[in-house]
Amino acid sequence: MKTLPIVVVSCTLLCTSLYSSQSHAEGWWDSVKNMLGMGSDSAPTQTADVKQMATDAFTSAAGLVASLTDNLGVSTEQATGGMGAILNYAKQNISSEKFSQLSSAIPGVDSLLSAVPAVATLSEDGLGVLMNKAAEYSDSLKSINDLKNQFDTLGLDTGMIMKYVSQAQQYLDTPQGQEAKTMLTDAFAKWVS
- The pLDDT tens digits of the residues spanning 91-118 come to 998 999 989 888 888 889 999 999 999 8
For residue 17, what pLDDT is reported? 43
Residue 190 in this model has a pLDDT that exceeds 90: no
For residue 119, what pLDDT is reported? 78
Task: Give 166's contacts (C-beta < 8 A, 6+ positions apart).
Answer: none
Nearest to 191 by CA among 171, 150, 163, 157: 163
**Is residue 153 in some structural domain?**
yes
For residue 13, what pLDDT is reported? 40
For residue 25, what pLDDT is reported? 40
For residue 189, what pLDDT is reported? 82
Structural contact between residues 157 and 151, judged by C-beta atoms closer than 8 angstroms = yes
For residue 10, what pLDDT is reported? 42
Q: pTM of this prediction?
A: 0.64
For residue 103, what pLDDT is reported? 87
Q: Which helix (H) or strand (E) holds 87?
A: helix 76-93
pLDDT digits (tens, 9 = 90+) for 141-182: 788 888 999 999 999 999 999 999 999 999 988 887 888 888
**Is residue 26 in some structural domain?**
no
pLDDT digits (tens, 9 = 90+) for 22-71: 444 445 445 444 444 445 544 444 444 433 433 444 468 999 999 999 99
For residue 175, what pLDDT is reported? 84
Highest mean predicted confidence (pLDDT) among 4-8, 79-83, 120-124: 79-83
For residue 53, what pLDDT is reported? 39
CA distance 139 to 146: 10
**Is residue 44 in some structural domain?**
no
**Is residue 76 in some structural domain?**
yes
**Is residue 64 in some structural domain?**
yes
**Is residue 46 in some structural domain?**
no
**Is residue 22 in some structural domain?**
no
Indicate the number of domains in the chain.
1
What confidence category does residue 124 fall into, taking pLDDT thresholds of 50, 70 and 90? low
Q: Is the dihedral of CA 83, 55, 66, 115 positive or negative?
A: positive
For residue 160, give its domain range: 58-192
**Is residue 181 in some structural domain?**
yes
Report which of residues 40 and 135 the model is more confident about: 135
What confidence category does residue 2 fall into, taking pLDDT thresholds of 50, 70 and 90? low
